[in-house]
């Protein structure tokens, strides 16, 4: 029995999960996210935010505004009913900078707890920073860099190496706070921002590393950049910019006479637009002092960090990408056990030194195998196209955009033999974002899975009785006599394609 057959029962695990809800009362928005369960790759089943602007006047008046409080309490009352409808028994409610700093924060908490029907925990700046770091741990594998979580009231900065927090701090540089303290005069904000960042000498430890950007304002900036360059993969998680690209984007706002004239900004929520120039300025000044190698945007933040903190050690240790793929395959494929057999079966194909792969490439290949059958219910003519769309835009963690594209293209080639066949415009544009090596590997993996399905018909217990091997320039597929009748024209045609892709002659042997 292979390691892949020692399953934890993905279907049973999914069925046994209890939904968990997180209400995040931020300085700008109040949001409810309900996840399927507290697992390594949590899937949201409900996500709603209401922009309330609780932190709009805290710096100047010391208090939460009456209108903002009313909006927030109405949101909490709504969220209470939604959580009840979705049978959420475990509801975590947290509040951040605005409530923490306001003179009437305690009164709001008392009213808010009655509205939501649960205890509200007011996070300290240190706790907020720790949860933001844990959010990055949830969404990335072995993160190394500085995390920045920009909210309406504050900016949390954390130096993170894998799962170790080296430094952490909270700065009063949230978009709403800066609008309040500068009288909405962005030219007054530069000195305030520079002085605050300069108070943290360790920020320069981010030089040459990754800066992980968290928060809705920075995600809106990234969306504008995607529009600006017509980027084909509209997925925020793992989207990367070089420092130069990010600075160019930020400078657009600083140099624009009217930021509302910036292309694409009409697609940003009106309540978010006013803080964008300040969020861009914070990012620009931070990057100039830190000088990181790249900026990576994350949709994982303090809410996911809270879930991460609830996980037992064995669950934290799981690979977030493989964890998601296992759960997704359990819901969408015909046989998860067969998907795991494909991992072992394709290991043999990549045993040849000519097909050498890195540890991360091997991990991605296994993920592609596990996802390979999720499109089987689609019409045969559109399985490739629908698989590309489904996988490219899935809620994957632990993978960058080139890796995500590799997965999508691999499963596309599992259904389609050529690049021109099906797939639509999206697959063509995705190919333009990855190297020839990634494209070639996707074709090989797709062709291998396509060959395997001619033997197994998508069911477990067949391909693990066959083998792949290399002999003197030949790729040999060995089939036991009990399955000899599966050999035929279609299998041979698919196997010939696979052999050609790895530069070998094909040979099928029947044994026993």
Task: Enumerate the domain spans of the chain.
Answer: 3-122, 126-303, 320-510
Give the CATH H-level superfamily of domain 320-510. Hypothetical protein af1432 (1.10.3210.10)
Class of the domain covering 126-303: alpha beta
Residues in the chain: 512
Which residues touch 106 (CB under 8 Å, ≥6 apart)? none
Beta strands in 412-490 (DSSP E): 467-471, 474-480
pLDDT at 232: 92
pLDDT at 425: 62
Is 3-122 a domain of CATH 3.30.420.40?
yes
Alpha-carbon distance of 364 to 26, in angstroms, equals 36
pLDDT at 381: 87
Question: What strands lie across the sheet with 29-35, from one edge to the other?
Answer: 44-51, 29-35, 20-25, 90-95, 120-122
Alpha-carbon distance of 502 to 322, in angstroms, equals 26
Nearest CA to 35 out of 45, 25, 23, 26 is that of 45
Nearest CA to 274 out of 175, 148, 188, 187 is that of 175
pLDDT at 312: 95
Alpha-carbon distance of 389 to 369, in angstroms, equals 17
Measure Cα distances from 105 to 79, 124, 154 in Å. Answer: 20, 13, 16
- Looking at every residue in the chain, the average pLDDT score rounds to 92
Q: What percent of the chain has pLDDT over 90?
A: 84
Judge if 3-122 and 320-510 fold alike in CATH terms: no
Residues 235 and 401 sit within 8 Å (Cβ to Cβ): yes
Taking the CA of residue 365 as centre, how many other CA atoms within 13 Å lie in the half-sphere pointing to its CB?
30
Ranges of the chain whose pLDDT falls below 50: 1-11, 420-423
pLDDT at 420: 47
What is the tens place of the pLDDT at every residue in 141-200? Answer: 999 999 999 999 999 999 999 878 899 999 999 999 999 999 999 999 999 999 999 999
Alpha-carbon distance of 109 to 95, in angstroms, equals 9
Question: 311: which strand partners?
Answer: none
pLDDT at 423: 45
Residues 125 and 145 sit within 8 Å (Cβ to Cβ): no
Q: Exposure pattern of 255-271 as b/e (b: 16+ CB <10 Å)?
A: eeeebeebeebeebeee
Q: Both tokens of residue 447?
A: 């062709």
The alpha carbon torsion through 10, 11, 17, 22 (nearest 10 deg) reads 80
Measure Cα distances from 139 to 7, 214, 399, 505 in Å. Answer: 23, 11, 8, 42
Q: Which helix (H) or strand (E) element contains residue 509?
A: strand 505-511
């Amino acid at each position: 029995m292979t390691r892949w057959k020692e399953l934890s029962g993905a279907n049973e695990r999914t069925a046994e999960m209890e939904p968990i809800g997180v209400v995040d009362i931020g300085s700008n928005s109040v949001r409810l996210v309900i996840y399927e369960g507290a697992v390594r790759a949590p899937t949201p089943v409900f996500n709603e935010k209401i922009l309330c602007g609780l932190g709009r006047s805290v710096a100047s008046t010391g208090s939460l505004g009456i209108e903002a409080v009313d909006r927030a309490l109405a949101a909490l009352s709504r969220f209470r009913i939604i959580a009840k409808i979705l049978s959420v028994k475990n509801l975590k409610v947290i509040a951040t900078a605005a409530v923490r700093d306001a003179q009437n924060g305690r009164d709001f908490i008392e009213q808010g707890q009655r509205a939501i029907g649960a205890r509200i925990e007011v996070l300290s700046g240190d706790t907020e920073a720790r949860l933001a770091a844990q959010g990055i741990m949830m969404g990335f594998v072995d993160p190394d860099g500085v995390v920045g979580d920009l909210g309406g009231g504050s900016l949390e900065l954390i130096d993170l190496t894998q799962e170790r927090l080296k430094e952490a701090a909270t700065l009063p540089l949230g978009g709403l706070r800066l609008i309040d303290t500068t009288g909405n005069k962005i030219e007054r904000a530069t000195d305030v921002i520079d002085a605050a960042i300069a108070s943290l000498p360790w920020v320069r430890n981010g030089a040459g590393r990754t800066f992980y950007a968290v928060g809705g304002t920075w995600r809106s900036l990234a969306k504008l950049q995607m529009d600006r360059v017509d980027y084909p993969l509209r997925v925020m998680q793992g989207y990367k910019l070089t420092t130069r690209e990010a600075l160019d984007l930020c400078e657009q706002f600083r140099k624009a006479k009217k930021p509302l004239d910036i292309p694409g900004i009409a697609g940003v929520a009106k309540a978010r637009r006013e803080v964008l120039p300040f969020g861009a300025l914070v990012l620009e000044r931070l990057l100039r002092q830190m000088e990181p190698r790249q900026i990576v945007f994350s949709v994982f933040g303090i809410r996911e960090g809270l879930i991460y903190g609830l996980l037992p050690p064995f669950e934290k240790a799981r690979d977030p990408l493989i964890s998601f793929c296992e759960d997704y395959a359990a819901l969408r494929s015909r046989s998860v056990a067969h998907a795991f057999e494909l991992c072992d079966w394709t290991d043999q194909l990549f045993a040849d030194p000519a097909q050498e792969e890195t540890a991360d490439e091997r991990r991605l290949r296994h993920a592609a195998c596990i996802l390979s059958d999720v499109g089987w219910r689609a019409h045969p003519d559109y399985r490739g196209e629908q698989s590309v769309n489904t996988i490219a835009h899935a809620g994957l963690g632990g993978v960058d955009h080139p890796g995500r594209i590799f997965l999508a293209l691999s499963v596309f080639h599992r259904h389609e033999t050529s690049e021109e066949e099906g797939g639509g415009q999206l697959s063509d544009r995705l190919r333009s974002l990855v190297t020839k090596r990634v494209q070639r590997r996707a074709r090989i993996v797709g062709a291998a899975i396509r060959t395997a399905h001619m033997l197994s018909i998508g069911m477990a217990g067949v391909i693990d009785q066959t083998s792949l091997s290399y002999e003197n320039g030949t790729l040999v597929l060995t089939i036991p006599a009990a399955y000899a009748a599966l050999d035929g024209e279609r299998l041979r045609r698919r196997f010939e394609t696979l052999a050609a892709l790895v530069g070998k002659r094909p040979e099928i042997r029947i044994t026993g």
